[in-house]
Structure 1
């Protein structure tokens, strides 16, 4: 009957989820069972695509990478909100248009603030003293 809730409709999805979880756990268990237990020198070396590593494998990243990454995430989320809004633009009316303009304005203020704080300026610092 239409409108009647049938939990059996979700049975294929539930089976798929259970099989997916079983495959994931099975792969983890197989790795734990069959891996080598003793570390050897080649395993402890950092992997560099078959090239012998040069220098220290660990170094500090500039904070600018993280600032750019956060700004990217913010503006990427904006794009995610704009796509569905653009699809139903004619159906939602003027009120939703005004709300989206407020949303874009707030993001524009954040973008201008980041620009004024020179978040997009990339300066390479010299490693030599003086």
Structure 2
């Protein structure tokens, strides 16, 4: 396959997908679809009602482990520089996060219903 043909296919596929996504969805809004969603809260109620702290604790755990993935992502490239140091930091990070997760689990921080 030559370059102009490859470029034409590369441009044609996204354009077709954009056109399809513009024409395909059926527009049938109802009250449920048009109402705002606020992370588990009912947006039409009073804003001063107490909320579950458990929801935010689980969200913080998610962000923590999401950050862990971001820290572990460049490890394959770092292995080329200094493998021993990279493996040491990787194991240290995973052990610290595992200890923290175990502590929270034993304290009951991950239980949804109390």
* TM-score for both structures, normalised by structure 1: 0.49
**Who is 2:111 aligned against?**
121
The alpha-carbon distance between structure 1 residues 57 and 86, as it changes in their structure 2 partners (threshold 3 A), is farther
1:41-71 Cα offsets, whole Å, 9 max, x none, are xxxxxxx729xx9973323220101111111
- Please show how residues 100-111 of structure 1 align to structure 2 within 5 Å: 100-111=90-101
The alignment yields a C-alpha RMSD, in angstroms, of: 2.6
2:102 to 108, 112, 119: 112
Verify: 1:56 aligned to 2:40, yes or no. no
**Who is 1:34 aligned against?**
none
| Long gaps (5+) in structure 2 | 1-33, 37-41
Secondary structure at 1:81 match in 2: helix
1:97-123 Cα offsets, whole Å, 9 max, x none, are 112101110111001001101111111
Verify: 1:74 aligned to 2:64, yes or no. yes
Number of matched pairs: 75
* TM-score for both structures, normalised by structure 2: 0.55
| Long gaps (5+) in structure 1 | 1-47, 125-130
Looking at both structures, which has the greater relative contact order when contacts are Cα pairs under 8 Å and sequence separation is at least 6?
Answer: 1
Secondary structure at 2:68 match in 1: helix
1:23-48 Cα offsets, whole Å, 9 max, x none, are xxxxxxxxxxxxxxxxxxxxxxxxx7
